[in-house]
């Protein structure tokens, strides 16, 4: 492997699909997923620890953009489809060359990130989902870094705001974030906890808790006349729980 190819190596946690996008602005859309390994956050309720926690590091495969792209084409049968770049935080990976390869073949790319790391290739995306983490995550948002992500994206990608909400503090955070960025469409998602003692790599899910938070969140936005917000579930969780690879 040459020095240049090493510099472009992408750490891949898993690749799968086509299946549907389960959440946010592209919910229900057939998608191939490229989930990268590694993250600069450690959210208390993370449902993708296999792509975040260092104990899974040996499961992350170093791949060139060309190798990743060959697998995307194999999964999709060579038919152009939306490719979701997720993680972990995919923004810490060198994904620019992969996006260029995909666009050459007519594919579209969506990326979701918390907005803590900006890259110049954000401007090459078709969809950028910025998902800052609310108080329940245990993380703090650096809005200057978040602004950097918006500046890097510029005008080309469709850019939206997506926030997970567990409780009143998270809801207040979402309202403040939406007021800070009135130009961004807002998607709210009830939080997903795995059952006590569970492991996120299993299929276990607190379905009752999610349904309760969903009803509460719907009531909250309608009572507040927050009619610009869209409240959506994680469709893939309702169908398959927290299983990986779906």
- Structure confidence at residue 205 (pLDDT): 73
User: Is the Cβ–Cβ distance between 138 and 169 less than 8 Å?
Assistant: no
What's the pLDDT score for residue 227? Answer: 97
3.10.290.10, 3.20.20.70, 2.40.110.10, 3.40.50.970: CATH of 3-240? 3.20.20.70
At 6, is the secondary structure helix, strand, or coil?
helix
**What is the per-residue pLDDT across 136-189, written as a single tens digit (0 to 9) for each?**
999 999 999 999 999 999 989 999 999 999 999 999 999 999 999 999 999 999
Q: For a pLDDT cut of 70, what percent of the chain falls above it?
A: 88
Query: Token digits for 229?
Result: 């917000």
Assess whether pLDDT exceeds 90 at residue 32.
yes
pTM over 0.75: yes
For the beta carbon of residue 83, count every other beta carbon within 10 angstroms: 26
Alpha carbons within 13 angstroms on the beta-carbon side of residue 79 total: 6
pLDDT of residue 226: 98
Residue 130 CB contacts under 8 Å (≥ 6 apart), including other chains: 112, 113, 114, 115, 146, 149, 150, 159, 160, 161, 162, 184
Q: Which residue has the higher pLDDT, 234 or 83?
A: 83
The residue among 202 and 154 whose pLDDT is bigger is 154
**Among 221, 203, 240, 179, which residue's Cα sits nearest to residue 23?**
240
Does pLDDT of 3 surpass 70?
A: no
Question: Which sequence spans correspond to the domains of the chain?
Answer: 3-240
The mean of the pLDDT values for the chain is 90
Of 62-66, 94-98, 115-119, 240-244, minimum mean pLDDT range? 240-244
Mean pLDDT of 116-129: 98
Q: Is the pLDDT of residue 194 over 70?
A: no
Can you tell me the distance from the alpha carbon of 71 to that of 32, in angstroms, rounded to the nearest whole number? Answer: 10
pLDDT band of residue 69 (cuts 50, 70, 90) is very high
Residue 246 has pLDDT above 70, yes or no: no
b or e along 149-161 (b: 16 or more beta carbons within 10 Å of the residue's beta carbon)?
Answer: bbebbeeebebbb
């Amino acid at each position: 492997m040459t020095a240049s190819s090493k510099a472009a190596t992408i750490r891949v946690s898993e690749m799968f699909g086509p299946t549907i996008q389960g959440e946010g602005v592209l919910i229900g859309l057939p998608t191939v997923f490229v989930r990268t390994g590694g993250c600069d956050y450690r959210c208390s309720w993370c449902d993708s620890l296999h792509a975040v926690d260092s104990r899974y590091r040996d499961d992350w495969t170093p791949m060139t953009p060309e190798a990743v792209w060959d697998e995307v084409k194999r999964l999709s049968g060579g038919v152009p489809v939306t490719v979701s770049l997720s993680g972990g935080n995919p923004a810490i990976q060198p994904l620019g060359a992969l996006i260029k390869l995909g666009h050459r073949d007519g594919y579209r790319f969506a990326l979701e990130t918390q907005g803590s790391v900006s890259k110049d290739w954000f401007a090459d995306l078709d969809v950028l989902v910025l998902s800052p983490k609310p108080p329940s995550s245990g993380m703090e948002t650096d809005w200057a870094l978040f602004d950097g992500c918006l500046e890097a994206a510029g005008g080309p990608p469709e850019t939206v705001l997506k926030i997970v909400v567990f409780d009143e503090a998270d809801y207040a955070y979402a309202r403040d974030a939406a007021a800070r960025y009135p130009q961004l469409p807002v998607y709210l998602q009830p939080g997903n906890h795995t059952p006590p003692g569970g492991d996120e790599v299993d299929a276990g899910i607190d379905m009752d808790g999610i349904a309760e938070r969903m009803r509460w969140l719907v009531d909250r936005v309608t009572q507040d006349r927050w009619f610009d917000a869209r409240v959506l579930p994680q469709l893939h969780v309702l169908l398959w729980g927290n299983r990986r690879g779906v």
